[in-house]
Amino acid sequence: MANASTTGFGFRPIKKVGQTDNVGALTEYSVAASSALISHAAMVQLTADGVVLASGNTDANNLGTLNGVFYTDADTNKPTFANFSKASNTATDIVAFVNDDPRQVYEIMSADTAFNQNEVGGCADQVVAVGTTPLFISKSKISATTGASIAQLKILGVSRDPDHSDTTAEGFALRIIINEHILGNNVAGI
């Protein structure tokens, strides 16, 4: 059976490592005014300025994934919630809600067209693809290049979602954790 789609869907939080309850708790972090676009379900990093930005393909200070932002709209002075942070947002009070638990398990689509079981336990970086209008949901995927070297993501297995579990066809998803997580054990401070 072919997979339902080959378009990336960013990082979908699905469970926690072990038997811990997945309560979907979010932590608030600041976003700089007029910073770059941060798509919904995109991996974010903590910068030396103490604000979050979208993570690049090999960034190590990863914090989790963006669930949404809250701010006072600079044009209307109204409190506003959005699933993503637009680059043109000039508000000075932007707060990002981030899934920042280092034990969070995500599903992410693979950029590969086939999966080998020996890739479980390996590491890979993300392949960033920002979301597009109107929803701005991340289209990032996990790189097809995996190995034993430290990288952003650690592969735990194949998705159990029937729409994305055919590992012989393009569009399958993998279960991963953020390996280079600033709250985890694999990175230095900033």
Tell me the residue length of the chain.
Answer: 190
pLDDT digits (tens, 9 = 90+) for 108-141: 999 988 888 999 999 999 999 999 888 899 999 9
Does 106 have pLDDT greater than 90?
yes
Instruction: Report how far residue 141's alpha carbon sits from residue 113's, in angstroms, rounded to the nearest whole number.
Output: 12
Does 7 have pLDDT greater than 90?
no
- Place 187 in a pLDDT band, splitting at 50, 70 and 90: low
Instruction: Report how far residue 47's alpha carbon sits from residue 184's, in angstroms, rounded to the nearest whole number.
Output: 16
At residue 186, the pLDDT reads: 65
pLDDT digits (tens, 9 = 90+) for 159-173: 999 999 899 888 899
Does 1 have pLDDT greater than 90?
no
Does 190 have pLDDT greater than 70?
no
pLDDT, average across residues 37-64: 95
Does 2 have pLDDT greater than 70?
yes
Burial category of 123 from C-beta neighbours within 10 Å (exposed 0-12, middle 13-18, buried 19 and up): buried
pLDDT, average across residues 82-101: 95
What is the residue type of 149? Answer: S
- Place 21 in a pLDDT band, splitting at 50, 70 and 90: confident
* DSSP label of 13: E
Q: What is the pTM of this model?
A: 0.91
Q: Cβ neighbours of residue 160 under 8 Å, at least 6 residues apart? A: none
Q: Cβ neighbours of residue 28 under 8 Å, at least 6 residues apart? A: 95, 96, 97, 98
Does 188 have pLDDT greater than 80?
no
Instruction: Report how far residue 104's alpha carbon sits from residue 67's, in angstroms, rounded to the nearest whole number.
Output: 13
Q: Which helix (H) or strand (E) holds 69?
A: strand 62-72
Question: Residue 46, CB half-sphere, CA atoms under 13 Å: how many?
Answer: 19
The pair phi, psi for residue 144, each rounded to 5°, is -75, -15
